[in-house]
Copies of this chain bind each other. A is one copy, B any other.
Amino acid sequence: MRVGVLTGGGDVPGLNAAIRAVVKRGEGEHGHSVIGFRNGWRGLADGDVLPLTRQHIRNVLATGGTLLGTARYHPNEADGGIDAVLATLEAERIEALICIGGDGTLHAASKVAEAGVRMVAIPKTIDNDVWGTDRSIGFDTAVTIATEAVDRIHTTAESHNRVMIVEVMGRSAGWIATTAGIAGGAELVLAPEAPFDIDRVVRFLKHRHRAHASFSIIVVAEGAVPAAGTSMEYETQLGRFGEIVAGSVSERLKAEIEQRTGFDTRVTVLGHIQRGGIPTPADRILGSRFGVAAIDAVTRGETGVMTALRGDDVVLVPLADVAGKVKHVPAEMLEVARALA
């Protein structure tokens, strides 16, 4: 059996573990040929193939990035995109496809599956907001990096009345902000799940700095928003690919806080370092388990499903159930972040 594999969307640590698992298990157990497509859906549309062998996956388990490359192209959003994909699959005699990606890729995957292609998806996103799975590939590494940054800022934050803002990723959900905020002992976490009231933020800071502290750390998700009807309002600033412009939220917060409190406020935008480098063990394991589960699933004839972690188990969930939903941080975690400030 010839099985195709691609990685779409932004790269995250742990993708290579998944690709390696698909190849090792596919070849070693099932006798499949595994054909990679370069640069995500773009390579699948263009017929840019890389037949994967044991050689390609040597020493990649502990590396960041994706050995297949990736791109922000989605066939379902481009004219003739799906047709080009189908043409490549036919030309290359691909019998099943494994797509590793986030929101956009999962959506495209479900469209391709509807067009009759045998297809299993693997979720990845440092935002961890894919519905239907406890974890997506890349999240654990991102939290580890963000927490280390908060730790470092903690030990150096000794000047009086200084407010340190650390901006992390998280467009629609505040998973990184909430977890790194709890793990790093931040004083305040601003997540998209709980639109904030700048008046309360300012009151909290003033009270804290007056009462017993000389600094505060705020961890803010790039997608955090002011609550409707409160005294601060802003439009989220978007970049060329629809992503939130790094730092735009923090700079607005900084301006507001400095003006209202007079506290010296500093911004650190973690940016790209959150999505690179050596994957944590948890991300390598998740990638490996999802890769094995996906290749086993297409071999059994499954289609239109996504691998998912549920507690200690790896399961399959219908892509149709996943599409269009965002998995938010549970209220209990938001409360823990608040309670331990």
A residues sitting closer than 8 Å to B (CB atoms) are 10-11, 13, 20-21, 24-25, 28-29, 61-66, 69-71, 134, 140, 143-145, 147-149, 151-159, 164, 179-180, 182-185, 240, 246, 264, 266-269, 271-273, 275-278, 280-282, 284-285, 288-289, 292-293, 310-314, 327, 330, 332-333, 335-336, 339-340
Besides the known contacts A69-B158, A282-B282, A292-B335, 16 further A-B residue pairs in the complex with CB atoms under 8 A apart: A11-B156, A13-B155, A21-B340, A25-B339, A61-B184, A61-B185, A62-B185, A134-B312, A143-B282, A148-B277, A151-B277, A156-B272, A156-B277, A184-B281, A246-B266, A269-B269
Residue of A24, A71, A151 most packed against chain B (CB within 10 A): A151
- A155 surroundings in chain B (CB, below 8 A): 11, 13, 63-65, 276-277
Bound complex: CA A10 to CA B158 (Å) = 9
Closest CB-CB distance, A253 to chain B, in whole Å?
16
Whether B151 and A276, one on each chain, are in contact in the complex, defined by CB atoms closer than 8 angstroms, is yes
Known contacts A268-B271, A273-B268; A281 and B147 CB within 8 A of each other: yes
- A185 surroundings in chain B (CB, below 8 A): 61-62
Closest CB-CB distance, A204 to chain B, in whole Å?
13
| A147: nearest chain-B partner, CB-CB | B281
Whether A339 and B29, one on each chain, are in contact in the complex, defined by CB atoms closer than 8 angstroms, is yes
- A293 surroundings in chain B (CB, below 8 A): 332
A sample of 16 cross-chain residue pairs with beta-carbon separation below 8 angstroms, ordered by A number, consists of: A11-B158, A63-B155, A71-B159, A145-B152, A147-B284, A153-B272, A155-B276, A156-B275, A157-B276, A182-B289, A269-B269, A289-B333, A310-B311, A311-B311, A313-B330, A314-B332
- A158 surroundings in chain B (CB, below 8 A): 11, 65-66, 69-70
Bound complex: CA A275 to CA B156 (Å) = 7
Closest CB-CB distance, A218 to chain B, in whole Å?
13
Bound complex: CA A13 to CA B282 (Å) = 17
Closest CB-CB distance, A4 to chain B, in whole Å?
20
Known contacts A311-B311, A335-B292, A339-B29; A153 and B285 CB within 8 A of each other: no
Give the residue of B65, B148, B288, B314 whose beta carbon is less than 8 angstroms from that of A340.
B288
Whether A20 and B340, one on each chain, are in contact in the complex, defined by CB atoms closer than 8 angstroms, is yes
| A275: nearest chain-B partner, CB-CB | B156
- A327 surroundings in chain B (CB, below 8 A): 312
- A156 surroundings in chain B (CB, below 8 A): 10-11, 64-65, 272, 275-277
Whether A152 and B64, one on each chain, are in contact in the complex, defined by CB atoms closer than 8 angstroms, is yes
- A71 surroundings in chain B (CB, below 8 A): 159
Bound complex: CA A224 to CA B173 (Å) = 38
Whether B28 and A339, one on each chain, are in contact in the complex, defined by CB atoms closer than 8 angstroms, is yes
